[in-house]
Amino acid sequence: MKVAPNYSGVTVWVPDASRAVGVCSNLLSDELRENYIRTLGIEYERVRTQHKAKKGQAPMLRIAEARANALKTDWNAYSPPEPDFIGVRSLRNYPLEKLVPFIDWTPFFQAWELSGRFPAILQDEVVGEVASNLYRDAQAMLKKIVEQKWLGANAVFGLFPANTVNADDIEIYADKGRKRVAMTFHNLRQQTTKPAGRPNLCLADFIAPRETGIRDFIGAFAVTAGLGIDARVKAFEEAHDDYSAIILKALADRLAESFAEHMHWRVRREFWGFVKAENLSTEQLVNEEYRGIRPAPGYPACPDHTEKGPLFELLKAPENSGIIVTESYAMVPTAAVSGFYFSHPEADYFAVGKIGRDQVEDYAKRKGWALEEAEKWLAPVLAYERQ
């Protein structure tokens, strides 16, 4: 749908990595290659035509109408919790043993294409034995990672004054007096028509508008548990032990996510302190039963990856954590998580979904982009075909 029309080489979709062997055989065969590519071209064009002819999704609102249906908060009756400090803090060489209790194991098994929630997956009739063996091997390696300090974990986080402006953007201030804007966090709003009583959400709805005079706050963070991983992975691969290399990468990802969970837990209870008495189990944390959210750029509530650029500048993340972003806004080390902290009691995760051209034009203007640049970065959420 998206790659093939924009790539000069051959694009082939397979439902499972195991099918790639047959694809490569066809592409490498002097006898089969030409006819295989021609057949693919015909089939993919048919699929694209069929896709274009599909009925559209739910009716879309104009962006002005969506904003009129934003989340309604009585800001005069709300007193935002004030953090214990304003500014940025860095935590280096964080003890890995503190992150282990916060690991959500379900995505670990999903990385191996084993479906089921942990710990029930270990007794599953179909994949239980494989999952149990994998879990045993993962636990053994995790013990080495922690005890022998195979990986390094760093975090940087900040707490700042903030207010919503222009309906959908959040100004993050560098000082308590809110005189200098350190970053403007640009956001997108849901545009699909909602049932009565359901708002068209935007992350900016969870921060008090500047015109209310309410002094609200926001947090930001970047964490990694992948420092030093490349040398370890290389050693496994040179020993032809791909299994251990993959387990290590998957565990580093889990530790990074658990670090994000752990730091959010500390921020809520300690640094921001708006729920000092929170006492949730690991299962409750995984189920997000806490107050507040930590959305990440590139995820459904804020699908624009480029917001990681100013976020990293705000936190001075490369200097303070050792994490960088590439020109395509991927994080290195890859076992890393970054995002924002919201404390509003009604803040909840949501998906922006598809957006119309009018919002894209408005967003481009707010970001100082040409329309083509906005369409490039927002391509996955466009509700229309780019020209």
Look up the pTM and report it. Answer: 0.88
Three-class DSSP category at 192? strand
Instruction: Give the pLDDT score at 1.
Output: 80
User: What is the CB neighbour count within 10 angstroms for residue 249?
Assistant: 18
Query: What are the extents of the domains in the chain?
Result: 4-52, 63-353
Pull the structure tokens for residue 68: 């009129």
pLDDT, tens digit (0-9, with 9 covering 90-100), for 306-315: 999 999 999 9
Per-residue pLDDT, 57: 64
pLDDT digits (tens, 9 = 90+) for 248-268: 999 999 999 999 999 999 999
Report pLDDT digits (tens) over 102-144: 999 999 999 898 989 999 999 999 999 999 999 999 999 999 9
Q: What is the mean pLDDT of residues 70-93?
A: 96
DSSP H helices in 293-369: 308-315, 317-321, 357-367
Instruction: pLDDT band for 4, please (50, 70, 90 cuts).
Output: confident
CATH 3.55.40.20 fits 63-353, yes or no: no
Mean pLDDT (whole number) for 88-107: 97
Residue 309 is predicted with a pLDDT of 97
pLDDT at position 249: 96
Average pLDDT, whole number, for the chain?
A: 94
pLDDT of residue 144: 97
pLDDT at residue 155 in the model: 98
In the predicted structure, residue 55 carries a pLDDT above the cut 70? no
Q: Report the alpha-carbon distance of residue 296 to residue 338 in Å, rounded.
A: 6
Kindly tell me if the per-residue pLDDT of 245 is higher than 60: yes
pLDDT above 90 as % of the chain: 87
Is 349's pLDDT higher than 80? yes
CA 100, 105, 110, 114 dihedral sign is positive
Confidence of residue 56 (pLDDT cuts 50, 70, 90): low
Q: What is the reported pLDDT for 199?
A: 98
User: What number is the average pLDDT over the span 223-236?
Assistant: 96
Asked if pLDDT for residue 302 goes beyond 70, the answer is: yes
Strand partners, 157: 89, 221
How many whole angstroms separate alpha carbon 126 and alpha carbon 282? 26
Read off the pLDDT band of 33 (50, 70, 90).
Answer: very high
